[in-house]
Copies of this chain bind each other. A is one copy, B any other.
Amino acid sequence: MATDRPTSASVSTKERPNRSGETETAILEAARDLLAEGGVDALSMRMVADRVGLSATAIYHHFAGKQDLVKRVVETGYQRFEEYGCEVMKSYPRGSLELLIALGEGYVRFAFENQAYFRVLFNIQRDPRDVEELPAGGGYHVLRQCVLEAMENGAIRQADPDLVAHYLWTNVHGLVTLILACNIQKCDCAAEVTLGSPVELYRAFTTFLTDGLRPPPSDSRKTQ
């Protein structure tokens, strides 16, 4: 079985059969693939080991346990997430409301293009002890900065920037988790209407986000 390992082969040269770093990344990649294929339940130590060509226990020489392995995989996924956000920021003027909206759309888009990562990243079943080591770290600060600039620019109302940032975050996060959880855009509970793709749904929300639910002044009905 060990002879199946691609990197060990029959190299009798000076180089070690497999430098630690190589095995580690091989494990991470196998774990990432399994995670993307079938979620965190599909990721078992033995399956990962099989793909890499090692015994399951070998993984414990590189990672503290399954939880640690998953965390490490997710960290790389989160980097992708941050890159995604940075990409969006290049396309819209700083301090604009449009940028805030676009960041939200990027969040939704990322979540659905990387569902497996997202599910694990924000796994609602997460161990409470991990709380402090969690996602959104860099991402949140970027969002908050954009909110601050938009506020200074007069693009959004004056308020606690953290409050606004959280508000924006909960909006997109709710959309994503709800769709992931029960496919709201096409289940019967969501009425007969088809509400379109997640991103389309988000776009349809933006009016409410920017102008609220209260009727505009022109909407001259009885004002309750």
User: A residues engaging B (CB < 8 A)?
Assistant: 39-41, 95-97, 100, 119, 122-126, 128, 131-132, 134-137, 140-141, 144, 153-160, 162-164, 166-175, 177-178, 180-184, 187-191, 193, 195, 201, 204-205, 207-216, 219, 221-224
Contact = CB atoms under 8 A, between A and B. Distances in A.
A182 B135 CA distance: 8
A136 B167 contact: no
Given A97-B214, A167-B205, A213-B210, A181 B119 contact: no
A136 B213 contact: no
B187 A166 contact: no
Given A124-B181, A154-B215, A212-B212, A191 B162 contact: yes
Nearest to A189: B140
Contact of A182 (B131, B158, B175, B204): B131
- Copies of this protein, total: 2
Contacts of A132: 187-188
A221 B163 CA distance: 21
Contact of A175 (B154, B174, B201, B207): B174
B205 A170 contact: yes
A170 B163 contact: no
5 shortest interchain CB distances as A-B pairs: A174-B174, A212-B212, A154-B221, A170-B174, A211-B212
23 contacts: A97-B224, A124-B124, A124-B177, A131-B187, A134-B181, A154-B221, A154-B223, A154-B224, A156-B213, A156-B215, A157-B213, A157-B214, A159-B208, A162-B195, A166-B178, A168-B213, A170-B174, A170-B205, A173-B174, A174-B175, A208-B212, A209-B212, A211-B212
A171 B168 CA distance: 9
A173 B183 contact: no
